[in-house]
Amino acid sequence: MENAYELVTNCRSCKRSDLDLILDLGSHPLANALIEFGDANNEKYYPLVLLRCKMCTTIQLSVNVNPRILFSTYSWVTGTSKSTKEYCARLAELALSSGPANLSTILEIGSNDGTLLDEFKSKCSASLFGIDPAGNVVPERFENKTNFIKEFFTHKFAMEFAVKYGKVDIIIARNVLSHVPDLIDVLLGVNQILEPNGIFIVEFHDANRILSELQYDSIYHEHTYYHSIQSMEFALNQIGLEVFDAEVGPISGGCVILFASKQKRLVSHRFQELKTKESNLGVGKLEPWLRFAERVEANITSLRREFESRSDSSISAFGASARSSTLLNSVGESAGILDGIADNNHRKWRKYSPGLNILIDKPSQVVNKSVNSIFLSAFNFENEIVNQLRNELGWSGEVLVPLPNVLRKYQI
């Protein structure tokens, strides 16, 4: 892919051309492309349009932005969130209890800063491999070692990996198969290096939660797919993997974790129950998604009016996440009244948010006594942020929570 982006005319999963338009949010900057001082004029904008495949029901974007533009450098790191670390500890336990008894090798696709791999390191003696194209987030303990490879995981990469290192017992992809331009190519790579009795664990932001809780802030260019159990199982079955178990988790505002294998296993009641629940919600049908689009427009309008009504008050945001970029840029110019955006990730400090170019800084710098209200742009970490505001920063005032569903306001 030589161009900055390409339009999608066929479903990324089943390759059919019959795609429904769900939601058009206009043109947005890249959500994780934070701006250095003075560089705002160089920002690029791309269409942010949501489609649905009529055949396999996969929800997806209308464009593929060149992955090397999106992921060669990256600003999100797993280890900055306490709740994410706790979740990774639990996920490692689940993986080890489901994997083969004679475990020798574990590979994580999109290993980021190694938070999950650290959990495996403390719980087992298996050889660990982390694959990630963003070398800027790799911790020092992985640099110049064979267990970290700076590359995109593709079928071609997997074939080369198999020749050099052999097969793998457990492969994990945490919220990364929503980011790839060609899902089937990646899954073919998984199938290439997975041991016959090995397991593949895939986590994704649950399209059911996106639909039912109006989590449109999760729509941005890095997320080419918005998976449901139905659409992900369809893709896995295409390359010979069968789902045998499932879990739900709190990450990303609600995620699903599927456990799949080459060999047939007893299918859990939990997985069957989740599939039934999803079917009842109607995530595979067109009409609920069209209603979703109407509710998105209503939410954006309500947030715009809220900001416009606060022109004389001091308000800052907390959370310079990719999701906050979609939220704030959808609201548009009226969100420009924000005095700053607090974030716990030091890599983002003294940079500017995409599009609106609001200064991001350490929480102690942004959250001060002159701030009357805090807009929780990273609403999916509400409890963690409110505890930090109250207990670490000693701040009191009004908190605005834009999602899920409707704007909420309360005092702390």
Domain identity same for 150 and 264:
yes
The CATH code of the domain that includes 370 is: 3.40.50.720
Collect all residues with Cβ–Cβ distance below 8 Å to 118 and sequence separation of at least 6.
Answer: 88
Claim to verify: residue 215 and residue 275 sit in the same structural domain:
yes
Q: Write down which residue in 228, 262, 284 finishes a domain.
A: 284
Given a contact cutoff of 8 angstroms between Cβ atoms, the answer to whether 171 and 147 are in contact is no
- Given this model, what pLDDT does residue 1 score? 45
Q: How confident is the model at residue 133 (pLDDT cuts 50, 70, 90)?
A: confident
Encoded tokens for 202: 């895939």
Question: In the predicted model, is pLDDT for residue 161 greater than 90?
Answer: yes
Q: Is residue 224 included in any domain, yes or no?
A: yes
Tokens of 236: 């896995």
User: Cβ(315)–Cβ(19) under 8 Å?
Assistant: no
One domain for residues 277 and 140: yes
Domain's final residue, options 262, 284, 306: 284
Co-location of 250 and 341 in the same domain: no
Share of the chain above pLDDT 90, in %: 74
Q: Are residues 98 and 220 in the same domain?
A: yes
Tell me if 66 is assigned to some domain: no
Final residue belonging to a domain, choices 284, 318, 353: 284
Which pLDDT value is given to residue 144? Answer: 42
- Residues 123-146, mean pLDDT to the nearest whole number: 71
Residue 10 DSSP SS3: coil
Report the relative pairing of strands 105-109 and 127-131 from DSSP bridges.
parallel
256 and 309 in a common domain: no
For residues 275 and 170, membership in a common domain is answered with: yes
Residue 166 per-residue DSSP state: -
Tell me if the pTM is above 0.85: no
User: Does residue 51 contact residue 19 with C-beta atoms inside 8 Å?
Assistant: yes
Do 243 and 96 fall within a single domain?
A: yes
Query: Given this model, what pLDDT does residue 253 score?
Result: 67
Residues 272, 293, single domain; the answer is no
Residue 270 falls within a domain, yes or no? Answer: yes
> Does a structural domain hold residue 12?
no
Query: Does 276 share its domain with 345?
Result: no
pLDDT of residue 19 exceeding 60: yes
Which structural domain, as residue segments, surrounds residue 147? Answer: 78-284
Q: Determine, yes or no, domain membership for 1.
A: no
What whole-number distance in Å separates Cα of residue 16 and Cα of residue 238?
14
What pLDDT, on a 0 to 100 scale, did the predictor assign at position 72?
A: 57
Q: What pLDDT, in 10s, does the model give residues 352-374?
A: 999 999 999 999 999 988 899 99
Cβ pair 110, 204 in contact under 8 A: no
The structure tokens listed for 106 are 């574990």
CATH number at residue 232: 3.40.50.150
User: Does the structure show a pLDDT above 90 at 38?
Assistant: no
- Residue 112's pLDDT is what? 83
Say if 183 falls within a structural domain. yes
pLDDT band for 299, please (50, 70, 90 cuts).
Answer: very high
Max CA separation in the chain (angstroms):
64
In sequence order, what DSSP letters do the residues of 236-301 get, joined into one string? HHHTT-EEEEEEEESGGGSEEEEEEESS--PPPHHHHHHHHHHHHHTTTSHHHHHHHHHHHHHHHH
Look over the chain and give the mean of its residue pLDDT values, rounded to a whole number. 90
**94 in any annotated domain:** yes
- pLDDT at 84 > cutoff 90: no
Domains contained in the chain, number:
2
203 and 279, same domain (yes or no): yes
Distance in angstroms (rounded) separating the CA atoms of residues 283 and 353: 32
pLDDT at 324 over 80: yes
State the pLDDT at residue 76.
Answer: 52
State the DSSP code for 34.
Answer: P
Q: What is the pLDDT of residue 306?
A: 95
Which whole number is the average pLDDT over 193-217? 94
Instruction: List pLDDT tens digits, range 204-213.
Output: 989 998 999 9
> pLDDT category, 145, cuts 50, 70, 90?
very low
State the amino acid at position 21 in one-letter form: L
More confident residue, 117 or 142: 117
105 pLDDT above the threshold of 70? yes
Q: Are residues 244 and 292 in the same domain?
A: no
Asked if the model's pLDDT at residue 303 lies above 90, the reply is yes
- Say if residue 406's pLDDT is above 90: yes
Residue 404 lies in a domain: yes
The pLDDT of residue 73 is above 70: no
